[in-house]
Amino acid sequence: MTDARAIPRIPEQALYSTAHNKLPVSDSLGLERHVAEMEGIKLGPVPRLRIPPAPVLLSRRTDSVSFTYEGPVQNVFSLGPFGMAPWGSTSNFTDPAAQWIWATAGAAADAETYIEYRFQYIYNNPTGKIIRATVHVIADNVGFVFLNDETVGKTSGGWKSFNYPKFNVTIQPGSNLFEFPSENVGSNLNPAGILVAVKDDESKAVLFRSDASWKTGSFAYESGVQDVFALGRYGMQPWGSQSSFVDPSAVWIWPNSSAVTRAEVYILYRIQYLYDNPTNKTIRATVHVITDNSWGLCV
């Protein structure tokens, strides 16, 4: 547990701007995830992605931005153009030049399920002013859209309907990070892909589209981390051993060393740990947590 990391103190009132609106796992993409009981957590071959909460249709930012890709990234695979099988052209997608993409080759035929990939694209707005635009997206199967760490909306399907998901956004001057965390679902291997085009509302021009230049990322520790302090093993005072905690070797931790006797209140800390699943298959696991006082889980 001493390998965990903690973000330096974050004022409670700054939670959403500092923590980028990340949600507990119960509100993210997968099925079978429960914060209350913390059972059925599914860890894919790559670390799971944190998903943002309720939609914010227009960015609150008014200044120039300079975002970069988040975490280690690699190139996506272009699966083929709009209209390809198995998705076809029923949706009459706004940009026929957009390409279906995914994190693995051959995903148009078969892809692993219940693994979340974060598809990223940086759009540079050189105009010196905001651009109001519409994000057009079709996802097989489900996903979210967010821009510069702010939630845009949730997407699901769309290739069989004219009414596929569309979202209004405000693109700031500078480098804007678009992210599309997405997941394939199903009991067996099946096709997976995402199709995106972003169009200027005024000129109706396509600003960018999904293609092989996009990136897909996995998690790393977020910036500004420092080591936590090991306070002592399970059973120590003031918490004792009445809970019969599942792992008596677990260590109580906190971002400051005096927390056993005295710790500041109403300050949110984000404790992080990266688990590398080397099995190349899903692991079903249970998260056991005791906290003094309140907490949420992101996986």
Three-point CA angle 120, 125, 130, nearest 5°: 110
Strands 5-6, 226-227: pairing is antiparallel
Instruction: Assess whether pLDDT exceeds 60 at residue 12.
Output: no
pLDDT of residue 166: 97
CA distance 207 to 124: 10
Band of pLDDT at residue 143, cut at 50, 70 and 90: very high
Q: pLDDT of 243-287, one tens digit each? A: 999 998 899 999 888 888 888 886 777 787 877 777 766 788 899
pLDDT of residue 284: 82
Is residue 190 within a helix (H) or strand (E), and if so which, with residue range?
Answer: none
Give the domains, in start order, of the chain with CATH numbers: 1-50+221-299 (no CATH), 55-217 (2.60.120.260)
Instruction: Assess whether pLDDT exceeds 60 at residue 31.
Output: no
pLDDT of residue 1: 42
Q: Which residue has the higher pLDDT, 154 or 31?
A: 154
pLDDT of residue 120: 96
Q: pLDDT of 45-100, one tens digit each? A: 333 334 333 333 344 445 688 988 887 889 999 999 999 999 999 999 999 999 99
DSSP state of 277: -
Instruction: Assess whether pLDDT exceeds 60 at residue 111.
Output: yes
Q: CB–CB of 34/145 below 8 Å?
A: no
Instruction: Assess whether pLDDT exceeds 60 at residue 293.
Output: yes
CA distance 159 to 92: 9
Q: Which among 289, 50, 240 is positioned nearest to 151, based on CA atoms?
A: 50
Query: Once rounded to an integer, what is the mean pLDDT over residues 140-163?
Result: 93
Which pTM does this prediction carry?
0.60
Band of pLDDT at residue 220, cut at 50, 70 and 90: low
Q: CB–CB of 56/152 below 8 Å?
A: yes
Reduced to 3 states, what is the DSSP secondary structure of residue 199? strand
Reduced to 3 states, what is the DSSP secondary structure of residue 1? coil
